[in-house]
Amino acid sequence: MNRTKGDEEEYWNSSKFKAFTFDDEDDELSQLKESKRAVNSLRDFVDDDDDDDLERVSWSGEPVGSRTRPGSFQSLSDALSDAPAKSYAPELGRPKGEYRDYSNDWSPSDTVRRLRKGKVCSLERFRSLQDKLQLLEEAVSMHDGNVITAVLIFLKRTLSKEILFRELEVRQVALRHLIHFLKEIGDQKLLLDLFRFLDRTEELALSHYREHLNIQDPETRKEFLKTCIGLPFSAEDSAHIQDHYTLLERQIIIEANDRHLESAGQTEIFRKHPRKASILNMPLVTTLFYSCFYHYTEAEGTFSSPINLKKTFKIPDKQYVLTALAARAKLRAWHDVDALFTTKNWLGYTKKRAPIGFHRVVEILHKNSAPVQILQEYVNLVEDVDTKLNLATKFKCHEVVIDTCRDLKDRQQLLAYRSKVEKGSAEEEKIDAILCSSQIRWKN
Amino acid sequence: MSPLDRIANVSILKQHEVDKLYKVDNKPALSSNEQLCFLVRPRIKNMRYIANLVNADKVAGRTRRYKVIFSPQKFYACEMVLEEEGIFGDVSCDEWAFSLLPLDVDLLSMELPEFFRDYFLEGDQRWINTVAQALHLLSTLYGPFPNCYGIGRCAKMSYELWRRLEEEEDGETKGRRPEIGHIFFLDRDMDFVTALCSQVVYEGLVDDTFRIKCGSVDFGPEVTSSDKSLKVLLNAEDKVFNEIRNEHFSNVFGFLSQKARNLQAQYDRRRGMDIKQMKNFVSQELKGLKQEHRLLSLHIGACESIMKKKTKQDFQELIKTEHALLEGFNIRESTSYIEEHIDRQVSPIESLRLMCLLSITENGLISKDYRSLKTQYLQSYGPEHLLTFSNLRRAGLLTEQAPGDTLTAVESKVSKLVTDKAAGKITDAFSSLAKRSNFRAISKKLNLIPRVDGEYDLKVPRDMAYVFSGAYVPLSCRIIEQVLERRSWQGLDEVVRLLNCSEFAFTDMTKEDKASSESLRLILVVFLGGCTFSEISALRFLGREKGYRFIFLTTAVTNSARLMEAMSEVKA
């Protein structure tokens, strides 16, 4: 729509909807604002014409949207009593009489009361430290955080930071508000100074560390993390920070290398399973999974080998096995899965052990659609008989069910299971053979 | 935008000549309009966004008109930033004092989810005035509240500020008959346990699974059995929903199936009808039946979706662990469960929630567990969560057991505004807003874990524990029940002491004489920091039992996920 400036004026002034007035009316109110900015002290200027505190700004005259809403105040009062329904609609308008009754010599408690109502208040006249602190005290006893922060803004502007810090150190409520305010406006420098002054070393360290979230570029972030290492964290946290740095350092190297390999197109694993995302800033476990997926066979010396990650970050066996299993199962590399659990005892016999419980192994294998023979093998290794039976039934490992029922001498269950296997199958035959066997002392 | 949605949706705004709507974000709003209006919460980052826009315009030599509408009110810090950014004179500011959204016939929400983090983590009291204003509004509409009870530091401050407001604007409620007999203030941190539990009443489950926002929920295609999503308003007007909302989930499916059968029978009636009857049927009943049909299939779809998700998550195992934590046995097993949960990278929010539940019920994790679980969490979900752990510690949600009891005395001194650098160092210099939890002792004292002989009947619940399958009575609800029974805190001194709140439990009964017996059965419960649907269901039950009617006023509706997200420093 093309409108000339003149048309526009006309449009806005003659529109059937009185839209909210953007213009500051040329009334004494705005003159007032100008004066206030020029000089710091003012006396009553506001017209007492309007009875209302609100400069009414109408959307359309109707208090709220035209559709009926369930559960409005109307129905609330209906629910309460037979009294006539009460209607309330929050109105849109200038903050209640900002400049009304302006005066220059309000006491601290009056000032604070005005502030709570959102009225304009010059705090400039509270010049002595004693006056300032009294004002703060009043604000704190009012409980309104907006007022407390308003006073703190004033104090921050008119007191040196040493004095401000010294006074706030013994005023916990005000102190909390200042800290939150500094966090919100991003005054990192003053915040850190404050923590240093209060000897809150850990919060100082954490506050500094938090900044890394604002740095997107990996190299820059890595360098920043390096600066966090010497900070006064607790012993455990220092280790975590160190790990964070090391992890990102590694990820940058791996990412660069792998991106190169992938684009070169020579490496099979990257061709078959193209990477869906970058490894940067991923958690350690995710990085380990990635490494077990793409770099499983690499020797300990390389940055991207799983063993290297395990050693560097002291990843517990449980976590390592779980993650490696998930990765190899996804690739359907059943031999690798086998190798994970096979150990040789001192007599040279191989045996299967798992730090995570074989029921977990079975679940992960099943999730990755492992063939029944593989599943069966691991279900068999589950120690707890009930769990074994449950899993075998759930995953249709017939042999295991049959053998377990036989071992438990549970004829009923075996009979019941017979109906679940395929007619004329080898399993059915086996079941029949067992049921006929005279050597078993069935318990039911 | 959501509370605005409940008042004036996009089409209504367009009727009022709003050209286009943008979400306040970090991206510039490319618009050719001459007037821009910003409807924002009073947060500094919103101010920066507006300033960037206005200053960019200035640089480009463009003049427009700008209006900023602060909802529910303007904060001085925001003005300061506008001034700093040099745009104070370029924008006009208004306030939209919209602080109470009636979500249902008995539920008022202030839609201030930020209340929880601002107050319980940062100790910022900025919203206390907003709460006081909302209460003042209610008292001008419904008369003074004769009986006031409360517990918690924030409760006390809100109460005090509200009373100051009433005194200053004296005369507005004078002589008016009270319509609501009691008001009860409760801080969220009086009872974190309830907020952290998995919900099993229907409305709670829907919230946990689908996220109810401002009283409405987005049901996706898997629920609507079509290729579209549907936004559904959930409140007492949905007759189907209203009957199942407070029910334990085990009852819901059966109920819905029965209703579906009844509905079918109603439809089938038309077989034997003559023309006149059919005409009557179509004009009077068909619409209602169709409506009911629509709602039924929606809720059945929701149930199916919920059941599918829960089976996948192995919900049964999860609930078993939660109950064990609540009851206080098999702690080692529960800890292993949590460890495995973290190892498997199941969900960062869920893992956190379980750790917090363990911590609060056990008065903190033993050092060995705290360190090991923390390390594993950082390894599974990201090292930057170091910051999340620091937040949880400050808020008292996830703490390490202190070596020896002597620290408690020191800790409480620190939290009483005494500056003592040595003490500060011992308690890690965290000015403690957090309390020491004594859940087991409180649980025993208040009988929160019902002793059941035989099975707990969920179809005909006998107490509020049904909202957690009979395993646990919500602490917050129990406190309310006890105080209302006694009309005071008498006899509850031990509990109050265990809650670490001796100075902040108050009663004020001054205006009872004018109140009718009807109004004395009406109780307004004010939750500061959020309340869950489970608590609402439990109190509705209590109301039916004792002949009370509860009305809920909450800073926001919440659940465990929202609580954990509020504490998480890292946005997922």
Tokens of A274: 């193209």
Reported confidence tier of residue A36, pLDDT bands at 50, 70, 90: very low
The 3-state DSSP class for residue B398 equals coil
Chain A, nearest residue to B382 by Cα: A283
Q: Note the pLDDT of residue A74.
A: 47
Cα separation of B126 and B104, whole Å? 27
Q: Is B265 helix (H, G, I), strand (E, B) or coil?
A: helix
Contact flag B236-A72 (C-beta cutoff 8 Å): no
Distance from CA of B474 to the nearest CA of A (A): 26
Percent of the residues in chain A that have a pLDDT greater than 70, as a whole number: 76
Best to test chain A binding among B164, B379, B419 (most A CBs inside 10 Å):
B379
Burial class (CB in 10 A: 0-12, 13-18, 19+), A412: exposed
Cα angle B236, B242, B245 (rounded to 5 degrees) comes to 120
Q: Given this model, what pLDDT does residue A37 score?
A: 46
Beta-carbon separation of A202 and B428 below 8 A: yes
Most confident range, picked from A53-57, B163-167, B224-228:
B163-167
What is the homologous superfamily of the domain B1-95 according to CATH?
Answer: Sec1/Munc18 (SM) protein, domain 1 (3.40.50.2060)
pLDDT at residue B237 in the model:
87
pLDDT tens string B353-374:
999 999 999 999 999 999 999 9
With CB atoms and an 8 Å threshold, state whether A184 touches B45.
yes
State ipTM.
Answer: 0.90
What's the pLDDT at A102? 62
CA distance A310 to chain B (A): 12
Q: Return the pLDDT at A160.
A: 96
Omega of the bond prior to B72 within 30 degrees of 0, cis? yes
Pick the residue with more confidence: A21 or A93? Answer: A93
DSSP state for residue B42 in the 8-state scheme: S
The answer to whether the beta carbons of residues A313 and A284 sit under 8 Å apart is yes
- The predicted model scores a pTM of 0.84
CA–CA separation, A295 and B470 (whole Å):
51
A318 Cβ under 8 Å from any chain B Cβ: yes
H helix intervals, B199-285: 202-210, 221-224, 239-244, 249-268, 275-280
DSSP letters, B62-112, are ---EEEEEESS---HHHHHHHHHTT-TTTEEEEEE----EEEETTEEE---
List all residues of chain A from 364 to 423 with a beta carbon under 8 Å from chain B.
none
How many Å lie between the alpha carbon of A171 and the closest alpha carbon of chain B?
7
**Local confidence band at B433 (pLDDT 50, 70, 90 cut-offs):** very low
Phi, psi (rounded to 5 degrees) for B36: -120, 135
What distance in Å separates the CA atoms of residue A15 and residue A32, rounded to the nearest whole number?
A: 30
Q: For B342-366, b where at least 16 C-beta lie within 10 A, e where not — what string?
A: bbbbbbbbbbbbbbbbbbbbbbbbe
Compute the count of residue pairs across chains A and B with CB atoms less than 8 Å apart. Answer: 241
Nearest CA in chain B to A237: B386
Contact yes or no for A176 and B124 at CB 8 A: yes
Residues B511-543: tens digit of each pLDDT: 556 667 788 899 999 999 999 999 999 999 999
Partners of A176 on chain B (C-beta within 8 Å) are 122-124, 431, 433
Question: Where residue B427 falls among pLDDT bands split at 50, 70, 90?
Answer: very low
A172 touches chain B (CB under 8 A): yes
A chain contacts of residue B3, beta-carbon cutoff 8 Å? none
Question: Who has greater pLDDT, A43 or B115?
Answer: B115
Cβ proximity of B439 and B193 under 8 Å? yes
Q: Which CATH superfamily is domain B101-191+469-567 in?
A: Sec1/Munc18 (SM) protein, domain 2 (3.40.50.1910)
pLDDT of residue A15 exceeding 50, the answer is no
Distance of alpha carbon B429 from its chain centroid, rounded? 30
Residue A266 DSSP label:
-
Six-digit token string for A196: 């240093």
For residues B331-360, average pLDDT = 94
Q: Which of B542, B541, B515, B559 is nearest to B178 (CA)?
A: B515
> Within an 8 Å CB–CB cutoff, is residue A40 touching chain B?
no
Residues A331-342 have pLDDT tens digits of 999 899 888 888
Q: Which residue of B has its CA nearest to A56?
A: B94
Taking contacts as CB-CB distances below 8 angstroms, the residues of chain B near A88 are 137, 141
d(CA B103, CA B557): 10
pLDDT above 60 (res A13): no
Per residue in A79-103, pLDDT (tens digit) is 444 445 566 666 676 666 566 666 6
User: So what's the pLDDT on residue A81?
Assistant: 47
Where is pLDDT greater, at B170 or B336? Answer: B336
In eight-state DSSP terms, residue A208 is H
SS3 A87: coil
Per the DSSP assignment, residues forming a β-bridge with A352 are A342
What is the rounded average pLDDT for all residues in chain B? 87
Instruction: For domain B202-311, give the fold.
Output: Syntaxin Binding Protein 1; Chain A, domain 2 (3.90.830)
Report whether pLDDT(B405) > 50. Answer: no
In whole angstroms, give the CA distance from residue B508 to residue B163: 11
Q: Where are the domains of chain B?
A: 1-95, 101-191+469-567, 202-311, 328-362+364-405, 407-435
**A266 band by pLDDT with thresholds 50, 70 and 90:** confident
Residue among A383, A426, A422, A418 nearest A401 (CA): A418
Q: By C-alpha distance, which of B214, B163, B153, B144 is closest to B185?
A: B153
Average pLDDT, integer, range A199-206: 94
| CA closest to B552 among chain A residues | A76
Q: Which CATH architecture has domain B328-362+364-405?
A: Alpha Horseshoe (1.25)
Confidence of residue A4 (pLDDT cuts 50, 70, 90): low
Residues A192, A201 contacting (CB under 8 angstroms): no
Q: How does strand A92-93 pair with strand A342-344?
A: unpaired
CB contact under 8 A, A70 and B551: no
**Contact (CB, 8 A) for B542 and B548:** yes
Please say whether the beta carbons of A109 and A138 come within 8 A.
yes
pLDDT for the residue B372 = 95
- The partner residue sitting opposite A70, judged by closest CB among B12, B34, B236, is B236
Rounded Cα distance, B358 and B338, in Å: 9
Q: Residue for token digits 């109603």?
A: B266
Whole-angstrom Cα distance, residue B459 to residue A257?
62
* C-alpha of A371 from chain center: 38
* A contacts of B422 (beta carbons < 8 Å): none
**Dihedral pair phi/psi, residue B184, rounded to 5°:** -125, 120
CB of A170 less than 8 A from some CB of B: yes
Q: Collect all residues of chain A within an 8 Å Cβ-Cβ radius of residue B431.
A: 172, 175-176
- Token readout for A443 is 């318990």
Q: Is some CB atom of chain B closer than 8 A to the CB atom of A226?
A: no
Interface touch A90/B99, C-beta < 8 Å: yes
Contact residues on chain B for A184, CB-CB shorter than 8 A: 43-45, 77
Contact A22 B35 (CB under 8 A): yes
A309 and chain B in contact, CB less than 8 A: no
Q: Which of A381, A276, A282 is nearest to A330 (CA)?
A: A276
Closest CA to A147 of A100, A185, A110: A110
Backbone CA torsion sign across B525, B531, B533, B537: negative
Rounded to the nearest 10°, the torsion over CA B48, B54, B56, B59 is -130
Whole-number Å distance between alpha carbons of B320 and A11: 67
Least confident stretch, A187-196, A237-246, A339-348: A339-348
Chain A residue numbers with beta carbons less than 8 Å from the beta carbon of B105 are 70-71, 75-76, 79
Residue A328 has pLDDT above 60, yes or no: yes
- Which positions in chain B touch A142 (Cβ < 8 Å)? 161, 164
Band of the pLDDT at A23, cuts 50, 70, 90?
Answer: very low
Token pair recorded at residue A181:
């305010």
pLDDT in tens, A121-136: 889 999 999 999 999 9
Query: Are A352 and A342 in contact, with CB atoms under 8 Å apart?
Result: yes
> Would the CB atoms of A202 and B430 count as touching at under 8 Å?
yes
End-to-end CA distance of chain B: 21
Chain B residues with beta carbon closer than 8 angstroms to that of A282 = 382
Separation between Cα atoms, residue B532 and residue B554, nearest integer Å: 9
Lowest-pLDDT range of A164-168, A388-392, B196-200, B483-487: A388-392
- Rounded CA-CA distance B512/B494 in Å is 27
Interval A300-319 mean pLDDT: 92
Q: Inform me whether the pLDDT recorded for B130 exceeds 70.
A: yes
Does A6 touch chain B if contact means CB atoms closer than 8 Å? no
Q: Given a cut of 70, is residue B572 above it in pLDDT?
A: no
**B232: enclosing H helix or E strand:** strand B230-233
Report the distance separating Cα A225 and Cα B384, nearest Å.
11
Across the interface, of A79, A184, A283, the residue whose CB is closest to B44 is A184
**Residue boundaries of the structural domains of chain A:** 106-199, 202-315
Taking the CA of residue A117 and the nearest CA in chain B, the distance in Å comes to 9
Same fold, B202-311 and B328-362+364-405: no
Report d(CA B422, CA A301) in Å as an integer.
Answer: 48
Instruction: Say if CB B485 and CB B547 are below 8 A apart.
Output: no
- Which pair of tokens denotes residue B72? 């529910």
CB spacing of B77 vs A153 below 8 angstroms: yes
- Among A residues 338-367, those touching chain B with beta carbons less than 8 Å apart: 360
